Amino acid sequence: MAARAPRYTAVAIVLHWAIAVAILFMIPMGLWMHESAEHGDVSARLFSAYQLHKSIGLTVLALSLVRLGWRLMNPPPPMPAHMPGWERFAAVATHWAFYALMIGLPLTGWLYVSAGWSIHDEAPLPVATHWFGLFQVPALFGLNQADLGVREDAAEAALTAHAYLAYAALGLAALHVAAALKHQFFDKDEVLAHMVPGLRAP
Ligand code: HEM
């Protein structure tokens, strides 16, 4: 494992911002897709949006796994000495909860589409996923070959989890941003500067 660096590595910073922007874009997109399908939209535009959502989501999954591997091999910069124990605990817990969400959110989406079952029509929906039109993504656990009852239950459970994890990600992101601003403007320490190139502690 590498020694503790005074700030995050360039790889960690690029992955952090790319994944953050993608997730914040994907949540409203997923909600819009869900509402449109619920209102009977069967347009080609919505179909393309589903494929785009799935492609970006699978990319987020791959980048999150890379990021987790990078994080395990490259310890983050030390926290400021003034931080009390509860705040250190909250920061560490939030960061690991983010990793769980960054992996769990796309995985539950992938599980949903693997079932090939529409929760809107309550009927089989065998639509293949094509990653940015380049190659076909396999169904997880061969779920698309399972009995219809299993596929229905899996689709219901996966999409419910997908939606709850998205709301949890929004809540955690709000907490995370509030903590970052507190460090920058109240504690006036270097925490935010660790992740924002060119920024200095006040
Ligand atoms: C960054 C990762 C992702 C985020 C933040 C995200 C977010 C969301 C959200 C908020 C919804 C609306 C859920 C609802 O209201 O029921 C949704 C729907 C959906 N997501 Fe994702 N998603 C991600 C990754 C994926 C992946 C990887 C797939 C599949 C490979 C996927 C497939 C879907 C599908 C098919 C729907 C629409 C379900 C419906 O018809 O109601 N998502 N997503």
Nearest alpha carbon, ligand 1 atom 43: 30
- DSSP label at residue 142: G
**Cα angle: 43, vertex 49, 54; to 5 degrees:** 135
Residues 6+ apart with CB under 8 A from 125: 116, 117, 118
Residue 192 has pLDDT above 60, yes or no: yes
Å from CA of 152 to ligand 1 middle: 17
Are 114 and 141 contacting, i.e. CB atoms less than 8 angstroms apart? yes
19 CB within 6 A, ligand 1: no
Q: Using one digit for the tens of pLDDT, what is the confidence trace for 60-98?
A: 999 999 999 999 999 999 999 999 999 999 999 999 999
Give the pLDDT confidence score for residue 140 in this predicted structure: 98
188 φ/ψ sector (left φ>0, alpha ψ -120 to 50, else beta)? left
Where do the domains of the chain lie, and which CATH numbers do they carry? Answer: 10-194 (1.20.950)
C-alpha 21/C-alpha 171 separation (Å) is 15
Q: Using one digit for the tens of pLDDT, what is the confidence trace for 22-44?
A: 999 999 999 999 999 999 999 99
Nearest alpha carbon, ligand 1 atom 14: 163
Quickly tell me which residue has 């560490």 as its tokens. 92
Nearest alpha carbon, ligand 1 atom 37: 34
Residue 1 has pLDDT above 90, yes or no: no
49 CB within 6 A, ligand 1: no
Are 190 and 80 contacting, i.e. CB atoms less than 8 angstroms apart? yes
Residue 5 has pLDDT above 80, yes or no: no
Nearest alpha carbon, ligand 1 atom 19: 30
Residue 201 has pLDDT above 90, yes or no: no
End-to-end CA distance of the chain, in Å?
31
Å from CA of 29 to ligand 1 middle: 8
pLDDT band for 4, please (50, 70, 90 cuts).
low
